[in-house]
Amino acid sequence: MPIYNPPLRDMQFVMHEVLNVVDELKMLPAHADIDADTINAVLEEGGKFAAEVLAPLNLSGDAEGCKLDKTTHEVTPPKGFKEAYAKYVEGGWPALGCDPEYGGQGLPLVVNQSFYEMMNSANQAWTMYPGLSHGAYECLHAHGTPEQKATYLPKLTSGEWTGTMCLTEPHCGTDLGLLRSKAVPQADGTYKITGAKIFISAGEHDMVENIVHLVLARLPDAPEGSKGISLFIVPKFLVNADGSIGERNGIFCAGLEHKMGIHANSTCQMVLEDAVGTMVGQPNKGLAAMFVMMNAARLGVGNQSLGLTEVAYQNAAAYAKDRIQMRALSGPKSPEKPADSIIVHPDVRKMLLTARAYAEGGRALSTYVAMTLDKALASDDEDERKEAEAEVSLLTPIIKAFITDNGWISTSHCMQVFGGHGFIHEWGMEQFVRDARINMIYEGTNTIQSLDLLGRKILGDNGAKLKKFGAKIAAFVEEEGTNEAMQEFINPLADIGDKVTKLTTELGMKAFGNPDEVGAAAVDYLRVVGHLTFAYFWARMAKVALAKKDSGDKFYIAKLSTARFYFAKLLPETATLIRTARAGLAPLMEMEEELF
């Protein structure tokens, strides 16, 4: 069975030594009383829950999967999942980052983010059951009526109810402008909703007494396309005026998807037959309201792959130190043994360090974005809020696409470390690979994230958001420019910063002549900018580690070694990516369709 040790030391390093989250958060009225001891204590207990309650269910849950009773439309998750959820609720974990007005603990989202990383490492499929609840909470918190908030937010906060996001339909994926679900107004102010949704994570299960579905549908007179979509709350069970559970609503699971991975999560085909719903926000403005939840989900999906990268690395590193096979090319390293541990082989180390560098770089970026999102939500300075919102907007597609691409690379490498054993279920590695693959697809494929980054977030505002983030990088480069010990990190960071500026300008000019040039370059471009962000945070981590390398704590020595590996072996990928991005549209469009 796979092992999992919560990476508390690295989380504390990123939060307290690199990003100084306590000082940053204390500037926000909502978090004026936050302190490092509280954050550390919460994450320590959260790590215990992840490692002791969730991790032991991951392998068995994958093998067992979910079961649908087609007569009752009820879904039963794997053995132990319901009991684990009860412990999750009992521990108060759903309320961690929620508003105290609705029963929440009011802790910063950056703490919730780190807790979810650990749960994703331990058991991604289980974590997806409560995973969208916080997104539903945020959506209703931002756009719900006072009555909707009073009805649903306390139950979502406590974890008594869970939430889902019902967008995709059988005939359309991310192109929500094509959706057909209909919502017919009723005399009492409600709507009768009819339609079909697919790929609904945790759409049906027996772990809670009610499930709050947020559903996109069209009014009878709605305009065509994405401008004619409204958002509705459609609970599994109707809610009475006194808050008690009422009769069964007309939304049910008609089938379970048979998937490559995340077998233990009920990915449902949902059917709505005159289901009763109430509108969230304004008519035909549902997509804007749903984007609150969608953006939260995109950050959450990046977090899923971050968790899988970490746990895959831990298991591969432990195996590489224990497994003996062949001798080092330079001669025996353990002559008293019949063979050396495979960790002596350079390519095994390359695979391990790739996963470690992507895990630790991803953790730094994700923690930074979560802290910035705290500012966007809680600052009493309007300018600071807007600046934070813009930065989160810029970095969200990078977290979703770059970290999930890296998760696929890393889990594949870590399975390779195990050799043939990696292909066997009981070692757990092949499950990490299968589970990681979905993260590149859902909540907007990584190609869509790339188009969003280049086309909308960067070219859409003439590079304003990128320039502001780039100014932070430039200031750090200037600050450390005369520090001789930092040159091995600062020089390549400055270099990739210059190259991103030039590439962005060049692609912008091409796109002005032909918008399809954005589609030709976007995926490579996102990966280049992803490396820019990682190089920035790796340089910042290296600065701290350099200052403390003689402290006697080998943590800092390991951090420096990983930083050097990242700059020497992973960042140079950008040279190829820049060249392929510049190759443009022609090589992709030259072949006639019938020749494919």
CATH number at residue 379: 1.20.140.10
State the average pLDDT over residues 202-230.
95
Task: Say if 151 falls within a structural domain.
Answer: no
State the average pLDDT over residues 53-72.
97
Task: Report the pLDDT value the prediction gives residue 296, as an integer from 0 to 100.
Answer: 85
Residue 289 scores a pLDDT above 90: no
Q: What is the pLDDT of residues 87-107, one digit of tens each?
A: 999 999 999 999 999 999 999
- Asked whether residue 327 falls in the same domain as residue 215, the answer is no
CA distance 267 to 265: 6
Task: Report the pLDDT value the prediction gives residue 89, as an integer from 0 to 100.
Answer: 98
Residue 320 scores a pLDDT above 90: yes
Task: Say if 144 falls within a structural domain.
Answer: no
Provide the strand spans (E) within 327-409.
none
Q: In the structure, what pLDDT confidence band is assigned to residue 501 with cuts at 50, 70 and 90? A: very high
State the average pLDDT over residues 201-213.
97
For Cα atoms 306, 437, 558, give the angle at the middle one, nearest 5 degrees.
Answer: 30
Q: 248 vs 129, 160, 170, 252, CA distance in Å?
A: 20, 17, 24, 9
Q: In the structure, what pLDDT confidence band is assigned to residue 295 with cuts at 50, 70 and 90? A: confident
CATH number, domain with residue 222: 2.40.110.20
By annotation, the residues acting in catalysis are 443
CB 270 within 8 A of CB 254: yes
- Asked whether residue 112 falls in the same domain as residue 221, the answer is no
Number of domains in the chain: 4
Residue 177 scores a pLDDT above 80: no
Domain boundary residue among 443, 473, 499? 443
State the average pLDDT over residues 458-487.
96
State both tokens at 195. 């339609």
Residue 365 scores a pLDDT above 80: yes
Domain boundary residue among 395, 416, 443? 443
Q: What is the pLDDT of residues 20-54, one digit of tens each?
A: 999 999 999 999 999 999 999 999 999 999 999 99
Task: Report the pLDDT value the prediction gives residue 176, as an integer from 0 to 100.
Answer: 77
Q: In the structure, what pLDDT confidence band is assigned to residue 293 with cuts at 50, 70 and 90? A: confident
Task: Report the pLDDT value the prediction gives residue 297, as an integer from 0 to 100.
Answer: 87
Task: Say if 542 falls within a structural domain.
Answer: yes
Q: Considering all CA atoms of the chain, what is the largest pairwise distance in Å, rounded to the nearest integer?
A: 84
CA distance 222 to 311: 47
Task: Say if 157 falls within a structural domain.
Answer: no
Q: In the structure, what pLDDT confidence band is assigned to residue 290 with cuts at 50, 70 and 90? A: confident
For residues 384, 105, 80, 312, the Cα torsion angle rounded to the nearest 10 degrees is: 40
CA distance 182 to 277: 11
Residue 141 scores a pLDDT above 80: yes
- Asked whether residue 198 falls in the same domain as residue 233, the answer is yes
Q: What is the pLDDT of residues 412-459, one digit of tens each?
A: 999 999 999 999 999 999 999 999 999 999 999 999 999 999 999 999
Task: Report the pLDDT value the prediction gives residue 48, as an integer from 0 to 100.
Answer: 98
CB half-sphere exposure, 571, CA atoms < 13 A: 28
567: DSSP letter: I
3-class SS string, 40-70: HHHHHHHHHHHHHHHHHHHHHHHHHCCEEEC
Task: Say if 321 falls within a structural domain.
Answer: yes
- Asked whether residue 486 falls in the same domain as residue 405, the answer is no
- Asked whether residue 338 falls in the same domain as residue 435, the answer is yes
Q: In the structure, what pLDDT confidence band is assigned to residue 173 with cuts at 50, 70 and 90? A: confident
Task: Report the pLDDT value the prediction gives residue 1, as an integer from 0 to 100.
Answer: 86
- Asked whether residue 240 falls in the same domain as residue 340, the answer is no
Task: Report the pLDDT value the prediction gives residue 484, as an integer from 0 to 100.
Answer: 96
Task: Report the pLDDT value the prediction gives residue 238, as an integer from 0 to 100.
Answer: 98
Percent residues over pLDDT 70 in the chain: 100
- Asked whether residue 280 falls in the same domain as residue 189, the answer is yes
Task: Report the pLDDT value the prediction gives residue 294, as an integer from 0 to 100.
Answer: 81
State the average pLDDT over residues 48-61.
98
- Asked whether residue 166 falls in the same domain as residue 277, the answer is yes
Q: What is the pLDDT of residues 564-588, one digit of tens each?
A: 999 999 999 999 999 999 999 999 9
State the average pLDDT over residues 269-290.
93
Task: Say if 193 falls within a structural domain.
Answer: yes
Q: What residues make up the domain containing 497?
A: 445-587
Residue 220 scores a pLDDT above 90: yes
Residue 174 scores a pLDDT above 80: no
Percent residues over pLDDT 90 in the chain: 95
Task: Report the pLDDT value the prediction gives residue 353, as an integer from 0 to 100.
Answer: 98
- Asked whether residue 422 falls in the same domain as residue 502, the answer is no
CATH number, domain with residue 109: 1.10.540.10
> 0.95 exceeded by the pTM?
yes
For residues 284, 287, 289, 291, the Cα torsion angle rounded to the nearest 10 degrees is: -170
Mean pLDDT over the full length of the chain: 96
